[in-house]
């Protein structure tokens, strides 16, 4: 049997390091270029802190790689329980940052516990769905698996961190699909509310049309009146609910942020300002960009949170279409290679865990890049391994390290799934 370290996927490790390096370059530009004079002292220190978190994350990766795969499997419930405890502690005694009570300070160290909870949640759901009873497709066990995702998402919603909560909920179809126990019709039914709600934000008429087409499609493809009725309830209900939320329930400033997504020009001076500036920054980069630390929108502080949520604008403006494309290609190769680790496994647990990790990265990338180019509403979600944020970098690195571990130790990996 080959030593585990000879089975390591060094391509993924190199891609991880390359993506973090790109992030450090962008963070440096956003905090040490001409923009520095417009920033608070705490923001000016983001680059130095990210370097420290990079070192810490590297140590965590090594520690995880040297950990037994069986130990990781057996510890999953305890890690999940510890993450839930951190979320509850944050809800009770956390610190409010940018309107969300999502930070817990342990001495001088501040943790965004929702990011850390992703690690424990993906581990626990993967372990639960890899059990024999769950793999038989029994509805009760599938509902329990969904509850494992919804429970931390609910606590995070109470912290007013909607973006992070959405990531947990988006993992539901990913896990159910890769578990191989849920028919595609049910997965479509699960995803219909999200699509209908999104379309209702853009145009309620389009959302209702989608609901009608989806319902008819469910009736024809599934040949089940019950699924057709559920499809109608899910799609029409969400579309109408989203419309009522926009018109009857939400506060004016909340409505403005959502409506500004569909028509930012109508809110150019208020809620649509950030989207317009983000698109202008990326568009002005041209083919090769304006050069390192020379981005006009970035360095004149027109872009909000330009070292965190809107860091893709820095890359697009200063390194142009070529730079942005290179970054997206790096992400693409990274995700394909990562997914390949799970596909190569003969065990359910590592396969499901890698699917969950890939889903986390993909959701973050799609939403973060999408909001900078106006394809999705502005949601506070960082770009993985690129945006400033120690908790996110630590959590993402830990998930990658576990995936590498389960693949490298595949020869010795024999866990009991009963």
Q: Is the pLDDT of residue 374 over 70?
A: yes
Q: What is the pLDDT of residues 51-109, one digit of tens each?
A: 999 999 999 999 999 999 989 999 999 999 999 999 999 999 888 887 788 999 887 78
pLDDT at 73: 92
User: Which residue, 94, 91, 153, 90, is CA-closest to 122?
Assistant: 153
58 and 81 part of one domain: no
279 and 369 part of one domain: yes
More confident residue, 252 or 410: 410
User: Which residue, 98, 160, 179, is CA-closest to 355?
Assistant: 179
- Distance in angstroms (rounded) separating the CA atoms of residues 289 and 324: 10
Work out the percent of the chain whose per-residue pLDDT is above 90.
41
54 and 105 part of one domain: no
Among the candidates 218, 249, 280, a domain finishes at 249
pLDDT band at 418 (very low <50, low <70, confident <90, very high): very low
pLDDT at 151: 94
237 and 355 part of one domain: no
- Distance in angstroms (rounded) separating the CA atoms of residues 389 and 161: 15
Q: Give a yes or no: residue 346 inside a domain.
A: yes
| Model pTM score | 0.88
Mean pLDDT, the chain, whole residue set: 83
Tell me what the mean pLDDT of segment 18-25 comes to: 96
172 and 208 part of one domain: no
Q: Give a yes or no: residue 281 inside a domain.
A: yes
Chain-centroid distance of CA 255 in Å reads: 24
Q: How many CA atoms lie within 13 A of 396 on its CB side?
A: 31
Among the candidates 156, 180, 204, a domain finishes at 180
Q: Give a yes or no: residue 143 inside a domain.
A: yes
381 and 275 part of one domain: yes
Other C-beta atoms closer than 10 Å to the C-beta of 190 total: 17
Tokens standing for residue 42: 């705490």
288 and 365 part of one domain: yes
Backbone torsion region of residue 225, taken as left when φ is above 0, otherwise alpha when ψ lies between -120 and 50, otherwise beta: alpha
pLDDT band at 415 (very low <50, low <70, confident <90, very high): very low
Tell me what the mean pLDDT of segment 384-392 comes to: 94
93 and 197 part of one domain: no
Tell me what the mean pLDDT of segment 325-336 comes to: 96
Of the ranges 326-335, 357-366, 378-387, which one carries the lowest mean pLDDT score?
Answer: 378-387
Render the burial of 113-151: b for 16+ CB within 10 Å, e for the rest. Answer: bbbbbbbbbbbbbbbbbbbeebbeeeeebbeebbebbbe
Q: Is the pLDDT of residue 417 over 50?
A: no
392 with 102: CB under 8 angstroms?
Answer: no
Domain count, the chain: 3
Q: Give a yes or no: residue 256 inside a domain.
A: no
Q: Is the pLDDT of residue 28 over 60?
A: yes
278 and 364 part of one domain: yes
Q: Give a yes or no: residue 262 inside a domain.
A: no
- Distance in angstroms (rounded) separating the CA atoms of residues 157 and 151: 10
292 and 243 part of one domain: no
- Distance in angstroms (rounded) separating the CA atoms of residues 74 and 95: 32
Distances (CA, A) of 60 to 208, 372, 397, 410: 48, 31, 8, 21
Among the candidates 148, 180, 212, a domain finishes at 180
Render the burial of 236-253: b for 16+ CB within 10 Å, e for the rest. Answer: bebbbebbebbeeeeeee
237 and 314 part of one domain: no
Q: Give a yes or no: residue 219 inside a domain.
A: yes
User: Which residue, 343, 361, 359, is CA-closest to 351?
Assistant: 343
> What is the domain range of residue 93?
77-180
Measured N-to-C along each axis, helices 348-372 and 311-343 cross at an angle, to the nearest 10 degrees, of: 160
pLDDT at 207: 75
Q: Give a yes or no: residue 261 inside a domain.
A: no
276 and 392 part of one domain: yes
Q: Is the pLDDT of residue 360 over 50?
A: yes
pLDDT at 228: 63
Q: Give a yes or no: residue 260 inside a domain.
A: no
């Amino acid at each position: 049997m080959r030593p585990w370290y000879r089975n390591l996927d060094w391509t993924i490790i190199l891609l991880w390091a390359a993506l973090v390096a790109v992030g450090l370059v962008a963070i440096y530009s956003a905090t040490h270029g001409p923009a520095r004079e417009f920033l608070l002292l705490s923001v000016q220190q983001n680059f130095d802190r990210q370097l420290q978190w990079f070192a810490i994350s590297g140590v965590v990766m090594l520690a995880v790689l040297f950990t037994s795969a069986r130990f990781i499997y057996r510890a999953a419930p305890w890690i999940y329980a510890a993450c839930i405890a951190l979320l509850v502690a944050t809800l009770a005694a956390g610190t409010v940052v940018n309107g969300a009570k999502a930070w817990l300070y342990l001495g001088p160290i501040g943790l965004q516990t929702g990011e850390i909870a992703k690690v424990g949640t993906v581990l626990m759901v993967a372990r639960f769905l890899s059990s024999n009873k769950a793999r038989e497709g029994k509805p009760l066990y599938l509902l329990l698996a969904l509850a494992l995702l919804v429970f931390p998402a609910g606590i995070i919603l109470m912290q007013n961190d909607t973006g992070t909560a959405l990531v947990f909920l988006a993992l539901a179809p990913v896990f159910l699909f890769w578990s191989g126990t849920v028919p595609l019709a049910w997965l479509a039914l699960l995803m219909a509310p999200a699509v209908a709600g999104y379309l209702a934000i853009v145009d309620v008429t389009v959302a209702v049309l989608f609901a009608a087409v989806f319902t008819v499609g469910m009736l024809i493809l599934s040949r089940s009146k019950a699924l057709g009725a559920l499809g109608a309830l899910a799609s029409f209900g969400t579309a109408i609910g989203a419309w009522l939320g926009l018109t009857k329930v939400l506060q004016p400033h909340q409505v403005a942020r959502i409506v500004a997504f569909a028509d930012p020009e109508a809110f150019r001076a208020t809620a649509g300002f950030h989207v317009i500036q983000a698109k202008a920054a990326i568009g002005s980069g041209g083919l090769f960009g304006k050069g390192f630390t020379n981005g006009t929108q970035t360095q004149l502080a027109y872009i909000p949170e330009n070292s965190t949520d809107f860091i893709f604008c820095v890359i697009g403006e200063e390194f142009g279409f070529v730079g942005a494309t290179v970054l997206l290609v790096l992400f693409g190769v990274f995700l394909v290679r990562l997914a390949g680790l799970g596909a190569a496994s003969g065990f359910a647990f590592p396969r499901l865990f890698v699917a969950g990790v890939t889903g986390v990265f993909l959701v973050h990338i799609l939403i973060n890049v999408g909001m900078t180019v106006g394809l999705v509403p502005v949601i506070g979600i960082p770009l993985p391994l690129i945006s400033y944020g120690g908790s996110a970098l630590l959590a993402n690195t830990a998930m990658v390290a576990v995936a590498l571990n389960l693949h490298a130790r595949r020869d010795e990996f024999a866990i009991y799934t009963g």
